[in-house]
């Protein structure tokens, strides 16, 4: 290969333009943001280059084949996480791959393994929440689904573990700000989900936008090469995020020229440079001037070509088969998986007994709120109609999405009237619709108020200074409360929001997050009692934005347990989620009171359904290291189990905790299990008062 061919091969180029001549002039090894028959044209051009190296086609399939019109759009990661169901994650990944692959896409930039910290961050909804263990488990399941039977599987797509690593540790919630993270802190919380992804077979990693300790993620040799490739033995390829090499020059300003940036990026360990056109000339100049050895270019080229060979692209370029794609996205089995995802992701946060509604008592419902019939807000970020794609690309067909209004109307019992009023806007303070909403509420037996956030206030580069309900929503909820009618609040939102006092006094609150195309059906099933909610939060919902950070696994050592003017407890904690039945935990036991080195601990607990209907409970197991050589978290989730129980049924649940579950990261940044006492805490949420306790001693 010539130098020019090598440099081109490790470039990923934006292919949204109709002009694809760059495939001939620069010969990139991969392209992104290209769909449909246009992919065949790009592949044909690549085949005519001197070596005919096949292209690798990437796209943002974040919670479904995001930008393919009519594809199955699932709940966003934060919503799906509330299911606590790795098997479901694997199904979601499989469906997404089956819909992406026949459209000519080989590679999805998912899952996001960032650890949520400041809830103001615009990309909170893209995460699985605040717990490293859960993030690793869910990410591994999604990777299995995407990558199917292996690299040669033509129905599979490459998964991408992103954003490696620490991108979510923001300053003031601002996107891509400097992340103040030590190596010990990285190893303690931020790196474990990525190591889990590497062990699960993820073949691509993507860097973050942030810098740490003065070093941009894309230039971090320790993290990219020493940890990922050498320590973990990662054999795949590492791709930068969008123009990360260019940002070294024009944003972070640690390089004066693109030649400097090319040298820095290559030597740090990056294999593919996403959308930095200037990298081409910069890398060539670096070699020709003698500042960079051509052999340093050879290493990432070799890794990338090896991946293409292992995928069989030289024998089968895996171009689009649009007839097959149309069949895949219309499969009823895919819609069924989506409905299961929406159902399991729904979290009942609060209920005074009103839900499920009694059809004998409820003959009229006022469905109120700006998100009650807004399909774009229900689908959320990274779908057609969201800011990541131009408006001219359109949106997903309206009939593919069941909004809350659609669902309530479809499932309302015979003789139950449903009246809809939007009430207010989220993006402005127009309150002119509130009188009509109040009139509808006054004429109804029950109010269902659907509020939340808007695409304008979420996503990449769109962090918020507040977590309050925007626009006229607080005024709307206050007015609805004053009618005296029972109010059920349904939240359609990307991330946790601070609720006003009128919402906290509501009869019930259902959290749906961005619940995908089937979200409205799931909400309606829950309202009318056809579904017993089983979702549990994987992120804490605060009382006030000033409580940041509010995640459950806090490092011990602060003075006091509250602010002088406010509790430090969240409104709804990690692991919280109610049911239409009740569960009783008892008889927590350990197979052995001691833990021998290298061995696992077996935990059993009895869970009884003491209510009147069947349900699914999520049993959570936490570990607390009583005395540690370095400061450590108060407790950390290390295991969980879903259990289905009929009314009156009792089951013994067993969870095995591996030796690694008892590790901490010591002052030398080494993972160790220190001899001493551990508390095993088991229950329905992370709240201390909800947890049974047993003591284990590690030898």
Q: How is residue 518 written in tokens?
A: 């089937």
Query: Under 8 Å CB-to-CB from 229, ≥6 apart: which residues?
Result: 238, 269
CA-based nearest residue to 571, from 642, 480, 509: 509
Confidence of residue 233 (pLDDT cuts 50, 70, 90): very high
Q: Say what the pLDDT of residue 390 is.
A: 84
Which DSSP letter does residue 228 get? I
Query: Under 8 Å CB-to-CB from 601, ≥6 apart: which residues?
Result: 590, 591, 592, 595, 656, 657, 661, 662, 680, 696
295-341 confidence digits (pLDDT tens): 999 999 999 999 999 999 999 999 999 999 999 999 999 999 999 99
425-446 confidence digits (pLDDT tens): 999 999 999 999 999 999 999 9
202-224 confidence digits (pLDDT tens): 999 999 999 999 999 999 999 99
Asked whether 12 and 276 are in contact (CB, 8 A), the reply is no
Confidence of residue 33 (pLDDT cuts 50, 70, 90): very high
Three-class DSSP category at 89: helix
Reply yes or no on whether the pLDDT at 391 is more than 90: no
Between CA 503 and CA 276 the distance in angstroms is 47
| Domains contained in the chain, CATH given | 21-324 (3.20.20.300), 346-547 (3.40.50.1700), 583-698 (2.60.40.10)
Spacing of C-alpha 216 from chain mean position: 23
Determine the average pLDDT of the residues in 470-474: 98
Is pTM beyond 0.95 here?
A: yes
Between CA 183 and CA 34 the distance in angstroms is 38
Three-class DSSP category at 25: helix
Between CA 139 and CA 135 the distance in angstroms is 6
Confidence of residue 637 (pLDDT cuts 50, 70, 90): very high
Beta carbons within 10 angstroms of residue 507's beta carbon: 17
133-190 confidence digits (pLDDT tens): 999 999 999 999 999 999 999 999 999 999 999 999 989 999 999 999 999 999 999 9
CA-based nearest residue to 646, from 611, 677, 676: 611
501-525 confidence digits (pLDDT tens): 999 999 999 999 999 999 999 999 9
Burial zone of 426 (CB within 10 Å; 0-12 exposed, 13-18 middle, 19+ buried)? buried
Determine the average pLDDT of the residues in 357-362: 95
Between CA 316 and CA 307 the distance in angstroms is 14
Reply yes or no on whether the pLDDT at 392 is more than 90: no
657-696 confidence digits (pLDDT tens): 999 999 999 999 999 999 999 999 999 999 999 999 999 9
Q: Say what the pLDDT of residue 389 is.
A: 85
Asked whether 56 and 314 are in contact (CB, 8 A), the reply is no
Q: How many residues does the chain have?
A: 699
Residues 465-491 as b/e (b if ≥16 CB within 10 A, e otherwise) read: eebebbbbbbbbbebbbebebbbbbbb
Q: H-helix or E-strand containing 137?
A: helix 132-147
Which DSSP letter does residue 230 get? I
Q: What is the mean pLDDT of the chain?
A: 97
Confidence of residue 74 (pLDDT cuts 50, 70, 90): very high
Q: How is residue 209 written in tokens?
A: 């936008």
Q: How is residue 95 written in tokens?
A: 């469906």
Q: Say what the pLDDT of residue 619 is.
A: 98
DSSP string, 431-491: -TTHHHHHHHHHTSSEEEEEEE--GGGSSTT---S--BPPTTHHHHHHHHHHTT--EEEEE
Confidence of residue 196 (pLDDT cuts 50, 70, 90): very high
Residues 533-547 as b/e (b if ≥16 CB within 10 A, e otherwise) read: bbbbbbbbbbbbbeb
Catalytic residues: 241
φ, ψ for residue 566 (rounded to 5)?
-165, 150
Determine the average pLDDT of the residues in 233-248: 97
CA-based nearest residue to 576, from 636, 533, 625: 533
Determine the average pLDDT of the residues in 42-49: 98
């Amino acid at each position: 290969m010539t130098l020019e061919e090598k440099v081109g091969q490790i470039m990923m180029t934006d292919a949204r333009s109709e002009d694809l001549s760059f495939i001939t002039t620069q010969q990139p090894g991969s392209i992104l943001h290209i769909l449909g028959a246009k992919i065949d044209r790009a592949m044909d051009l690549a085949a005519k280059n001197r070596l005919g190296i096949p292209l690798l086609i990437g796209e943002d399939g974040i919670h479904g084949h995001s930008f393919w019109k009519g594809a199955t759009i699932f709940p966003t990661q934060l919503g799906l996480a509330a299911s606590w169901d790795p098997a479901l994650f694997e199904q979601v990944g499989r469906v997404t791959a089956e819909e992406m692959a026949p459209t000519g896409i080989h590679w999805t930039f998912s899952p996001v393994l960032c650890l949520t910290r400041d809830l103001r961050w615009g990309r909170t909804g893209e995460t699985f929440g605040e717990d490293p263990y859960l993030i690793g488990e869910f990410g591994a399941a999604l990777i299995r689904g995407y990558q199917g039977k292996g690299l040669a599987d033509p129905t599979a797509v490459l998964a991408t573990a992103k954003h490696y690593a620490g991108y979510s540790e923001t300053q003031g919630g601002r996107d891509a700000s400097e992340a103040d993270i030590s190596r010990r802190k990285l190893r303690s919380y931020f790196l474990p989900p990525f190591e889990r992804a590497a062990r699960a077979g993820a073949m691509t990693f993507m860097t973050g936008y942030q810098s740490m300790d003065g070093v941009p993620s894309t230039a971090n040799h320790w993290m990219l090469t020493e940890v990922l490739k050498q320590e973990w033995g990662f054999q795949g390829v590492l791709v930068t995020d969008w123009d990360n090499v260019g940002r070294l020059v024009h944003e972070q300003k640690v390089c004066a020229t693109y030649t400097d940036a090319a040298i820095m990026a290559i030597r740090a360990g990056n294999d593919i440079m996403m959308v930095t056109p200037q990298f081409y000339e910069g890398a060539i100049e670096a070699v020709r001037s003698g500042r960079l050895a051509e052999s340093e270019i050879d290493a990432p080229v070799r890794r990338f070509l090896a991946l293409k060979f292992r995928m069989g692209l030289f024998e089968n370029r895996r171009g689009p088969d649009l007839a097959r794609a149309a069949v895949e996205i219309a499969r009823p089995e895919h819609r069924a998986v989506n409905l299961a995802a929406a159902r399991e992701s729904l979290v009942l946060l609060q209920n005074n007994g009103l839900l499920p509604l009694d059809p004998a008592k409820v003959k009229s419902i006022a469905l109120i709120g700006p998100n009650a019939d807004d399909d774009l807000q229900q689908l959320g970020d990274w779908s057609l109609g969201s800011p990541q794609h131009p408006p001219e690309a359109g949106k997903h067909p309206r009939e593919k999405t069941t909004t809350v209004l659609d669902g309530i109307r479809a499932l309302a019992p015979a003789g139950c009237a449903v009246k809809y009023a939007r009430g207010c806007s989220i993006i402005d303070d127009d309150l002119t619709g509130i009188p009509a909403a109040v009139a509808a509420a006054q004429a109804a037996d029950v109010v269902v108020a659907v509020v939340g956030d808007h695409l304008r206030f979420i996503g990449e580069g769109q962090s918020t200074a507040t977590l309050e309900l925007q626009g006229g929503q607080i005024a709307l909820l206050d007015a609805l409360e004053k009618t005296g009618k029972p109010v059920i609040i349904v939240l359609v939102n990307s991330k946790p929001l601070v609720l006003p006092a009128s919402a906290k006094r509501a009869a019930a609150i259902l959290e749906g997050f961005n619940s995908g195309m089937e979200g409205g059906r799931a909400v309606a099933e829950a309202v009318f009692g056809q579904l017993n909610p089983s979702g549990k939060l994987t992120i804490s919902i605060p009382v006030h934005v000033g409580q940041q950070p509010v995640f459950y696994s806090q490092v011990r050592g602060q003075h006091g347990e509250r602010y002088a003017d406010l509790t430090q407890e969240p409104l709804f904690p990690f692991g919280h989620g109610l049911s239409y039945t009740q569960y009783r935990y008892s008889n927590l036991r350990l197979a052995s009171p001691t833990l021998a080195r290298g061995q696992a601990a077996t935990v059993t607990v009895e869970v009884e359904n003491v209510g009147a209907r069947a349900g699914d409970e999520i049993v959570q197991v936490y570990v607390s290291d009583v005395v540690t050589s370095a400061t450590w978290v108060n407790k950390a989730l290390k295991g969980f189990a879903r259990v289905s129980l009929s009314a009156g049924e009792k089951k013994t649940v067993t969870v095995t905790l591996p030796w690694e579950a008892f590790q901490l990261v010591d002052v030398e940044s080494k993972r160790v299990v220190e001899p001493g006492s551990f508390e095993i805490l088991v229950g329905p949420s992370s709240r201390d008062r909800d947890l049974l306790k047993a003591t284990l001693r590690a030898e």
